[in-house]
Each structure stands twice: as C-alpha cells, then as structure tokens.
Amino acid sequence: MSSFKFNNERKKYIQIAKGWKRPTWAPLKRNFLRTPGYPGARLLNTQTEMRVLSIPVGIIVPDDADLEMLKEEIATWLITDQPVELIFDVEPNRTYLAVVDDSFDPDEFVTLGIGTLKFICPMPYKLGPIQNKTLAIENSDLKSNFINKGSVESNPIIDITVGAKSPFLDVWNGLEYFRLGYPVPVQTVVVSKEERILWDEMTDLTKWTPYTQKIGYIQPAGSFKVWQGYAFYAEDYGNGTAWHGPVMTRAIPQDATDFILDCQFTLQSTRVGQMGSVTVFLLGDNDEVMTMLDLTDYYNTMQNINGRVGVGWMESEVNKDNYRIIESTGGIREGSFNDFRGHLSMKREGNKWSAKVSKYRANTEIDNDTVLDYWIDISNTSKYTTMKPKKIAVAVTKYGNNDAMEVAFVEDVKFYKINHFDKDVTPYIFDIGDKIQIDTERSLVTINGTNAIALKDIFSSFPVIKRGKNEVIIRPANVGIAKLTYRERFR
C-alpha cells in the first residue's frame, strides 16, 4: 500500500486504499456561444477548474497510541492556512498544492480507522521539479534557450543582481516583453537622481569609529563583532542601568541637502523577558541626532517589537524640533513586527520627511508588512529640516539587567544623495549591487525588496515560460547576473 507526503511530512500509519486512481487531468469547462441560425456553437474559451482529490485512506493505530493526542497530531498536520505541497508515493516527480476540505473529521477518521480525505487544489496543475536557468552572453545578448516540457505555460521568478546602472530593463520571450523604465537614445543624458554615496554591508568594523558619548536614549558600552561576515552584533553589552550597548559611527563622504537613509535590521526574541533594540541615528552638527530609525522591544512581560522612525529622537512634546512619524506598529496589527527581518528608511526632500518600516516576507528580502507615513515641516519649525547630515551611528542595546534579544543585527546601511537637475534628463532606475526580482505569479516586481510596479511599462506583460521552446533575453546585456526559476506545469 502507498501513502503520501503533505506539508513536508508523511505519517507512516496512514495508507491509501488499493484501487484508488488519480484523475488524469484537471477538470475542464468549455464555454460556448450559441447564436440563432448558426449550427452548433462557437467555442469561446476553456477554463481549467479547481482539482479535487478524494482519497480513500486507512489508519493503522499504534497499540500504545493515545487516541486524543493522535487526533490532534493529524489535525495539526492536515489543517493549513494556505495550500501546501502534496506528493504521492506513486508519482514522486509531481507536486500538487492543496488544502484539506473543511468537511474533514479527525474524530471519525481515528475512531473508524478508515475515511476519505478530500484535497482541494486551487491552482489545479501538477508541478514538476524546480528548474533553474542562469542567463549567459550569446551573440551580444544576455539569454537562455530551453524547452518547457510542461503541458501549459509556467510563471517564472527572475532574479537579477545589478552589475551596471541603466534607465531601463527589458525581458523578452519571442514577441512578448516586460519592461521597467524606457530605453533612451544615445544622445540622451542619463543621471543618478538618487545617488548612493555610502553602502556598508557591515562586514568590517575598521570602517567605523567607537562612540563613547551618550547618544539619544543610549549610553554607549561594550563592543561590536561581525556575525558570519554579514552583520554587526553586540559581542559585549557592557554595563548600564537603562538602554546600553555598543555604538559606532561612520562619516558621510559628501554633503547632501536631500537624502535617503535605508537600513536593514534583524531583531528577534525567543522568550518573554528579553529586551533590546537595533538603532541607526543620522547625526548633524555637533553630533546632534537628526533622524532615528529604531526597532525596540521595551516590554519584559511580553514579546512586542515596535518600529520608530522620526525627526530627532524624542517626542515633539519634549523638544519641538522633533517629530515622530512612525510609532509602534504604525496602526497595523499588534505584534506584526515580532521576529523582524526587514528594513527602515527615512527620506528628506525639501521640507518633506517620508518614513517607512517594512518587514520582509518569510525567507525572502521582499517587503511584506509595510508602514508608510510622512511629515511636511511647513514653516521649517525643526532645525533638522535644513541641517546637513555628517555621520551615521549604529547601535545595538539591551535594557538594564534584562536578558538581551536572541538576535539583534544591523545588516546593511545605505545613504543616498538626492540630486536635482534644471534640464530635461533621464534617471537611472537601479544601481550597481541592487537586487531586482520579477515574480510573475504575484504580478510583483521589486528593487531591493521595494515594490517597483510604478516603473513598469503599462503596455508590457509579466514574463511567462511558454510551452515548448523558449528564448528568454534580458536587456541591456550588461545589466548583471540574471537567474530564472520556474516549475513545469502539467494538466
């Protein structure tokens, strides 16, 4: 007798009854148009319906099993919020994405020892193994030629690590194309409107200087270390009765009137009682705090991470130069920033300050839970609206004698100078080192995790992998390293 794996797990005591046959293909619905005087009908289109798999199964209950615990185990395994992978032993090279129908009754199943599991596949196609293609230069094109052996088209994910600035990006497959920005004639002046003048991937402490004076709410103490070559963390928090931990600064290499500060953080706890923060300050004249980007868990009775982005670091009631743009979770659900990995940013352009907190989708660097807000300093009431930034300070702290957070990393710091031009010019839309992802299934395109759909040519379409031969070309050819991932789909 055979069984199956569901939600990346199989139960050896559950077997599929003999004689069950899987449907050969997903159900189809033909839509016809009938008109008077025309024999028969015209076929308008064909719809592929949801696939339903009703599987007769038996359960072999272990002799020493606690039936109530077994019911809970089966329910936990089978009941999921979203479709997950379903793989049958007799068809190991095909994967379904399924959920269990809500009519499933674990009590009856365990008591009788037999039953029927009804799996529903909202996406009706079977999936083959993951296919990975790396595009390479061929006849001056960055391309990949391959055959999709599936019976229908597939939706790819294209990842590009940028190696050269460009005002546009094209993805072609035959006559179909996807475009960001727009190609320009050779005589057109192309400029960097958002010019990245500092990018630190937090791999080397020697570029930073220890800071010893109190900064914002933090008393410097202890020391940093680099975690596995990609993040600063507190090797030693030192001593203190309030918020304390290591602080380091780095000078901004150019003057910038308008700017963007964008920083990637991880802050996670494993139990109640851990308190800590990761913070980046933008410092102006006399090391005054102009801007604060901060993630903090300041509760010792619960796990609750809060994001704070503001002008200055205090509330405006304390100092009128300050303005807290984002506080706590910014109005989205409580606890949404727990187990945080994502990025915070502040943009100043003229007298407008724009703040952002984005938590990544799990196991990606793509924005998910996001809060955006802004403040316009109409009368330039804050001195920080006209002050020029001089330094960036990074800090990782804990509170008093409370346990520190399990993970508290500063992973990436970027600072952009916003340039303004009097004449008509075309801006670059991405920079060297940026990461672009085109996700056709979600109709989503991102640059460094941030939604970039506003750059998409409205007449272009998200790329698909056609059935049969494909020739995927990305332009410009020197854009960088491009990889394409998809799964063949079968009816």
Task: Quickly count: other Cβ atoms within 10 Å of residue 452's Cβ.
Answer: 20
Backbone angles phi, psi at 106, to 5 degrees: -65, -30
What is the DSSP code string of 405-444?
PSEEEEEEEEEEEEP--SS--EE-SB-TT-EEEEETTTTE
Question: What is the C-alpha to C-alpha distance for residues 86 and 96, in angstroms, rounded to an integer?
Answer: 5
Mean pLDDT: which of 25-39, 94-108, 389-403 is highest? 389-403
Same fold? 128-193+425-490, 195-418 = yes
pLDDT on residue 159: 98
pLDDT on residue 219: 97
pLDDT on residue 257: 95
The predicted model gives 276-282 an average pLDDT of 97
pLDDT on residue 1: 65
Question: What is the C-alpha to C-alpha distance for residues 326 and 114, in angstroms, rounded to an integer?
Answer: 55
With H, G, I as helix, E, B as strand and everything else as coil, classify residue 70.
Answer: helix
* pLDDT tens, position by position, 330-343: 667 778 899 999 99
pLDDT on residue 130: 95
The predicted model gives 132-143 an average pLDDT of 94
* pLDDT tens, position by position, 46-64: 888 999 998 888 888 776 7
Structure-block tokens of residue 57: 């199964």
Question: What is the C-alpha to C-alpha distance for residues 245 and 118, in angstroms, rounded to an integer?
Answer: 55
pLDDT above 80 (res 27): yes
Topology of the domain comprising 4-124: Elongation Factor Tu (Ef-tu); domain 3 (2.40.30)
Instruction: Name which of 309, 279, 300, 260 is nearest 216 in CA terms.
Output: 279
What is the pLDDT confidence band of residue 373, given thresholds at 50, 70 and 90?
Answer: very high
The predicted model gives 284-299 an average pLDDT of 94
Residue pair 147/467 in contact (Cβ under 8 Å)? The answer is no
Question: What is the C-alpha to C-alpha distance for residues 450 and 399, in angstroms, rounded to an integer?
Answer: 32
What is the pLDDT confidence band of residue 23, given thresholds at 50, 70 and 90?
Answer: confident
pLDDT on residue 330: 62
As a residue count, the chain comes to 491
Contacts of 320 (CB under 8 A, 6+ apart): 381, 382
The predicted model gives 456-485 an average pLDDT of 96
Pick the CATH number of 195-418 from 3.40.190.10, 2.60.120.200, 3.30.360.10, 3.40.640.10: 2.60.120.200
Question: What is the C-alpha to C-alpha distance for residues 354 and 331, in angstroms, rounded to an integer?
Answer: 16
The predicted model gives 423-449 an average pLDDT of 94
Structure-block tokens of residue 404: 């520190």
What is the DSSP code string of 154-185?
B--EEEEEE-S-BSEEEEEETTEEEEEE----
Residue pair 256/418 in contact (Cβ under 8 Å)? The answer is yes
Structure-block tokens of residue 468: 């049969």
Task: Quickly count: other Cβ atoms within 10 Å of residue 490's Cβ.
Answer: 15
Rounded to whole angstroms, the maximal C-alpha distance in the chain is 91
pLDDT on residue 331: 67
What is the pLDDT confidence band of residue 105, given thresholds at 50, 70 and 90?
Answer: confident
pLDDT above 90 (res 71): no
Residue pair 245/397 in contact (Cβ under 8 Å)? The answer is yes
Question: What is the C-alpha to C-alpha distance for residues 486 and 489, in angstroms, rounded to an integer?
Answer: 9
Average pLDDT, rounded, for the chain: 92
Q: Tokens 């102009």 sit at which residue?
A: 290
Pick the CATH number of 128-193+425-490 from 3.40.1190.20, 2.60.120.860, 3.30.1330.20, 3.40.190.10: 2.60.120.860
* pLDDT tens, position by position, 239-251: 999 999 999 999 9
pLDDT above 80 (res 316): no
With H, G, I as helix, E, B as strand and everything else as coil, classify residue 384.
Answer: helix
Q: Percent of the chain scored above 70 by pLDDT? A: 99
Q: Tokens 């615990």 sit at which residue?
A: 69
pLDDT on residue 322: 86
Domain boundaries, the chain: 4-124, 128-193+425-490, 195-418
Residue pair 476/164 in contact (Cβ under 8 Å)? The answer is yes
For 110, the enclosing helix (H) or strand (E) is helix 106-112
